[in-house]
Amino acid sequence: MSLLLDVLSWVLLLSGGLLSIVSAFGVLRLPELFQRMHSATILDTLGAGLVLSGLILQAGFTVISFKLFLVFLLLALTTTTAAHALAKSALADGIYPKGIDPEVVRAGLSEGLPGRQRIATDRARERVAPPASPQEDPPPQPSEEGGPPWA
Amino acid sequence: MGVAIDIILLLFLLSIAFAACVTRNLFSAAMLFGIFSLISATLFVVLDAVDVAMTEAAVGTGVSTILILITLASTGYRVSPRPAGRQVLALAVSVVLGATMVYGTLDMPSLGSPDAPVHTHPIAQYYTEVSPVEMGIPNMVTPLLASYRGYDTLGETAVVFTAGIGVLALIGRRRRKDPLPIVEEFREGGANRHRVLRVISKQLIPPILLYACYVQAHGDFGPGGGFQAGVIFASGLMLFMLLFGVEHARRIIRPVVLEKLIALGLLIYGGVGLVNILQGGAFLDYRTLAHDPQHGLHYGILTIELGVGITVAAVITTIIYSFASHLRDHVMQRTLRLRQGADAAQTSPESGA
């Protein structure tokens, strides 16, 4: 039983390490921001998850494995959120994925976004392609909702 | 194996420092400094200095990066090119200073060497052999810091206190006669539109604050204590401020309260010393606090650690508030000026775009 656990945990550890190396190559070699981000998030979630599960199997039913699980939970939550925020900021800054019609992304971005972000999106749009007729867009409206945002 | 990890981490540090010097974009430089601090923190963990690593991770990676970014937001992200003469002078000064420091390290004993003065001096032997018996505290760092070297720590807390007062005097608490009308976009926090970011990060704040309380209370048994707990607590509050804006943060923990807390922490520390004198002992001789001298030591150490934690958390939060409020005023003034310009321009056609 313990041999089986050992083998299983080493398989997990090694595959996690392999995945990390692959995704590091991806970050270095892939041509564009979104692809590189994709590669980096594989390391953050799956690579770290495999390594941590391997370590949990090594530790057995102890406090250490519970702590490792907490580390995994934290990584899974924060790194994916960070990647989401990064991608969103890149889009708002006028960097679009290759092979996707920028108009589609822009339409999706500025739809339903009043206030500051709309201004940023419009600015990014102007930077990429100067608008043919600037009067088409309504002027950015300040947001109406005044309640506390944590509610 | 440990040496290999050390070498890899040090190489990382070198290359990051070089990249931070070379880059012309100050935003990248700020990010690189954050990574530099994170790797230093890892290095401290490798060296078994977990409490230093906690402080470095919270202050170096979290707080100071945010402070630099706040400053850059009002000054701009580009470096203006310098005249070549001054660059040569700066290079010469850095090379001379660096060479002096490297020359200084040549006399240092190698890491972990048993012949190092730290290990051979009789006081070290006293601390390692007598302190666990005398104090009854498993974590040797805490009694050293709080009791044997209590005066030093009082001085350090006073330094933190002075830093907070200094920032307040320079950029904090300007009571305006005519407070600026708050621009609507600015009333909401920066992350209000990033719903995913807001929801996930909001969940992280309570664990961070809880962990800070744990580090505060657990200093006798594991790595931790007032300084670490204070910076972790302050970084949790900073996360709240980043998510919901400085306006909301100031409404929840008011700057007036923070000012009182800055002084309160130092007062608690000094007050314990005064109580010791009143009980008939020396200043900061905690043994007088209870019938059993060991219990007195425990009470004294816990109390002064609490004072340190309060002061550190309040000072760092005050500094962050001051910087953020400064930036907010800056941005609001700019926005108002732009609006007034737009209003003036609306009277003439064809200039709104």
Task: Tell me the pLDDT tens digit for each residue of B264-274.
Answer: 999 999 999 99
**Residue B78, helix vs strand vs coil:** strand
Residue B224 has pLDDT above 70, yes or no: yes
Q: What is the pLDDT of residues B305-340, one digit of tens each?
A: 999 999 999 999 999 999 988 888 888 788 888 888
Please report residues of B whose CB lies closer than 8 A to that of A81: 196-197, 200-201
User: Is the CB of A143 less than 8 angstroms away from the CB of B188?
Assistant: yes
Please report residues of B whose CB lies closer than 8 A to that of A117: 193
- At residue A114, the pLDDT reads 44
Supply angle C-alpha B228, B234, B240, rounded to 5: 145
Please report residues of B whose CB lies closer than 8 A to that of A149: 188-189, 192, 198, 244-245, 248
Q: Which candidate in B35, B188, B237 is best for mutational testing of the A interface (most A CBs within 10 A)? A: B188
Q: Is B181 on the interface with A (CB under 8 A)?
A: no
Establish how many alpha carbons lie within 13 A of residue A48's alpha carbon, considering only the half-sphere containing its beta carbon: 19
Give dist(CA B118, CA B124) in Å, integer. 6
- pLDDT bracket for residue B112 (50, 70, 90): confident
User: Is the CB of B200 less than 8 angstroms away from the CB of A81?
Assistant: yes
Q: State residue B25 phi and psi, 5-degree precision.
A: -95, 115
Residue with tokens 């830093």: B163
* Facing residue for A85 by CB, picked from B185, B197, B353: B197
Q: Residues near B36 by Cβ (< 8 Å), separated by ≥ 6?
A: B13, B16, B17, B20, B60
Q: Is B204 on the interface with A (CB under 8 A)?
A: yes
Q: Is B252 on the interface with A (CB under 8 A)?
A: no
- pLDDT bracket for residue A56 (50, 70, 90): very high
Residue A115 has pLDDT above 80, yes or no: no
Give dist(CA A32, CA B34) in Å, integer. 24
Residue B115 has pLDDT above 50, yes or no: yes
pLDDT, mean over chain B = 86
- At residue B172, the pLDDT reads 76
Residue A147 has pLDDT above 60, yes or no: no
- pLDDT bracket for residue A23 (50, 70, 90): very high
- At residue B189, the pLDDT reads 53
Q: Which candidate in B35, B182, B192 is best for mutational testing of the A interface (most A CBs within 10 A)? A: B192
- pLDDT bracket for residue B178 (50, 70, 90): low
CB B12 within 8 A of CB B46: no
Residue A117 has pLDDT above 60, yes or no: no
Please report residues of A whose CB lies closer than 8 A to that of B331: none
**Residue A146, helix vs strand vs coil:** coil
Residue A138 has pLDDT above 60, yes or no: no
Burial class (CB in 10 A: 0-12, 13-18, 19+), A16: buried
Number of H helices, E strands in chain B: 14, 0
CA distance, residue A82 to nearest chain B CA (Å) = 7
Q: State residue B78 phi and psi, 5-degree precision.
A: -100, 145
B248 to chain A: nearest residue by CA?
Answer: A148
- At residue A127, the pLDDT reads 57
- At residue A29, the pLDDT reads 92
Which of A98, A113, A107 lies closest to A125 in space, CA to CA? A107
Average pLDDT over residues B227-239: 94
pLDDT, mean over chain A = 77
- pLDDT bracket for residue B291 (50, 70, 90): confident
Higher-confidence residue of B135 and A119: namely B135
The fraction of chain B above a pLDDT of 90, given in percent, is 44
Q: Is A85 on the interface with B (CB under 8 A)?
A: yes
Please report residues of B whose CB lies closer than 8 A to that of A134: 353
Residue A134 has pLDDT above 50, yes or no: no
Please report residues of A whose CB lies closer than 8 A to that of B189: 149
A83 to chain B: nearest residue by CA?
Answer: B197
Q: Which candidate in B27, B194, B205, B247 is best for mutational testing of the A interface (most A CBs within 10 A)? A: B194
Q: Is A148 on the interface with B (CB under 8 A)?
A: yes
Average pLDDT over residues B47-63: 92
CA distance, residue A51 to nearest chain B CA (Å) = 18
Q: Which candidate in A78, A88, A116 is best for mutational testing of the B interface (most B CBs within 10 A)? A: A116
Residue A116 has pLDDT above 50, yes or no: no
